[in-house]
Structure 1
């Protein structure tokens, strides 16, 4: 987020190191002289760094400067978002049919092709279904094996949870690295 800077009469430092309109160093002058120079140029006196000795101020058009800073931040956020990898989730069940597996394989392939990671899981095996956890591991493993042509297994098939009560089975797939 753009940090609002002190401008013109908000500045309280008695002496400032002033940078002119064309980025030329004017020198260390009093606040009154700096405000007069900025007023003559039809610009604003903006306090850039308050911590240095003496503080640095610049004569610029503040609204234009602020607009450019906000625009730069937006493009940086957009670039950052573009480089992020999303994790998509595909949920399976122990009694899943072949046609449903084929459908979910296609969806997972689309996600991998888009550069996203895919988490394949069977969630919340409870009660009597916990006895079928090995079958769940087989279903998830088979799904992962069918994706190996375009994806690498990032985290192997793993069971988690409390045995006999609540079991989750999952594997994480990532797009293959380009050589």
Structure 2
């Protein structure tokens, strides 16, 4: 945090637009005048923007850094992170194996995960798109009471097709 800001004597600009800690504009003044004013109030002169009109603020920098860290911690607490689980299948998958993956997907969807369904089609099987879509449609039909398709099946690479599913909030 301290590396992002230029403080006190490290400021290179000769004239600055100075703002006090309450947000009141004190006007343009030289760097030396601003530093003196900051020292009189036992505060720091912090450069917030440089460019056409360099702007500096007279604040207690230690308290400012503390408040910024506190705000970032609060933001992290309220942030919602999406959790993903991935199911990979091949177009030749058997019905029982697909059912096992459907059961896992149902558990994960109830726990709040988002499912990434991937069909891997290596070699010549990659040209048989009807088989790839058949596996995908079978998987979706087995999950239609629990999941909603967030993005349809699309080709990601030469061998990989993927789709995203989320929990169906309406029918629980």
Distance 1:72 1:3 in 2: 18
| 1:102 pairs with 2:94 | no
Distance 1:51 1:91 in 2: 52
Deviates more, 1:144-153 or 1:62-71: 62-71
SS at match of 2:165: strand
How far 1:149 sits from its partner (Å)? 0.8
In structure 2, the CA distance between the partners of 1:73 and 1:160, relative to structure 1 (3 Å rule), is closer
1:26 is matched with which residue? 26
Structure 2 residue aligned with 1:91 = 88
CA positional deviation for 1:141: 2.0
Runs of 5+ consecutive residues of structure 1 not aligned to the other structure = none
Residue in structure 1 matched with residue 10 of structure 2 by the alignment: 10
Q: Check whether the contact 1:140–1:170 (CA below 8 A) recurs between aligned residues.
A: no
SS in 1 for 2:121: strand
Task: Give the one of 164, 168, 171 matched to 1:176.
Answer: 168
2:30 and 2:126 mapped to 1: Cα distance? 78
- Can you give the 5+ residue segments of structure 2 that lack an aligned partner in the other structure? none
Q: How many residues align?
A: 170
TM-score by length of structure 2 reads: 0.71
Within 5 Å, give how 1:62-77 maps onto structure 2.
Answer: 62-73=61-72, 75-76=74-75
| 2-structure distance, mates of 1:75, 1:14 | 37
Q: Which residue of 1 aligns with 2:60?
A: 61
Q: CA deviation at 1:104?
A: 1.6
Structure 1 residue matching 2:40: 3-state secondary structure:
helix
